[in-house]
Amino acid sequence: MKVFINKRIPETGIKMLEDAGLEIIIPENGNLSQEEWLSYCKNTDTILNVGNHTFDHDFFDECPNVKAVALYSVGFDHVDIKAANQKGVPIGNTPDVLSNATSDVAFLLMQSVARRASYNFQKVKEGNWGDFDPLHALGQELYGKTLGIFGLGRIGFEMAKKSQKAFDMNIIYHNRHHNEEAERELNARYVSFDELIEQSDVLSVHANFIPEQKDLFNRSVFEKMRPDSIFINTARGGFHHQTDLYEALVSKQIWGAGLDVTNPEPMFKEDPILGLSNVCVLPHIGSATIEARNGMAKLAAENIIAFSKGEKMANCVNP
Q: What residue ranges bind ligand DGY (CB under 6 A)? A: 73-75, 98, 286-287
* CB burial of residue 136 (10 Å; 0-12, 13-18, 19+): exposed
Strands (E) in 51-205, as ranges, are: 68-71, 91-92, 146-150, 170-174, 189-190, 202-205
Q: What is the DSSP string of 206-235?
A: -PPP-GGGTT-B-HHHHHHS-TT-EEEE-S
Residues 179 and 152: beta-carbon distance below 8 Å? yes
Amino acid, single-letter form, for residue 119? Y
- Say how far apart CA 145 and CA 135 lie, in whole Å: 22
Given the residues 174, 206, 236, 293, the one annotated as active site: 236
Residues 172 and 193: beta-carbon distance below 8 Å? no
- Say how far apart CA 286 and CA 98 lie, in whole Å: 8
Q: What phi and psi, each to the nearest 5 degrees, are found at residue 137?
A: 55, 35
Residues 6+ positions from 205 with CB-CB distance below 8 Å: 150, 151, 217, 231, 232, 233, 234, 235, 239, 240
Q: Which is nearer to ligand DGY, 238 or 256 (CB)?
A: 238
Q: Which is nearer to ligand DGY, 73 or 303 (CB)?
A: 73
136 among known catalytic residues: no
Q: What phi and psi, each to the nearest 5 degrees, are found at residue 276?
A: -90, 150
- Say how far apart CA 222 and CA 228 lie, in whole Å: 11
Q: Which is nearer to ligand DGY, 175 or 315 (CB)?
A: 315
Minimum CB distance to ligand DGY, residue 102 (Å): 7
Q: Which residue number has the CB closest to ligand DGY?
A: 75
Minimum CB distance to ligand DGY, residue 71 (Å): 8
302 among known catalytic residues: no
Given the residues 53, 206, 284, 293, the one annotated as active site: 284
- Say how far apart CA 215 and CA 141 lie, in whole Å: 29
Minimum CB distance to ligand DGY, residue 177 (Å): 20
Q: Which is nearer to ligand DGY, 89 or 97 (CB)?
A: 97
Residues 149 and 204: beta-carbon distance below 8 Å? yes
Q: Which is nearer to ligand DGY, 73 or 229 (CB)?
A: 73
Q: Which is nearer to ligand DGY, 41 or 98 (CB)?
A: 98
Minimum CB distance to ligand DGY, residue 103 (Å): 12
Minimum CB distance to ligand DGY, residue 299 (Å): 11
Minimum CB distance to ligand DGY, residue 44 (Å): 21
Share in percent of the chain as helix, strand, coil (round to 5) = 40, 15, 45
Given the residues 18, 195, 247, 265, the one annotated as active site: 265
189 among known catalytic residues: no
Annotated catalytic residues are 236, 265, 284
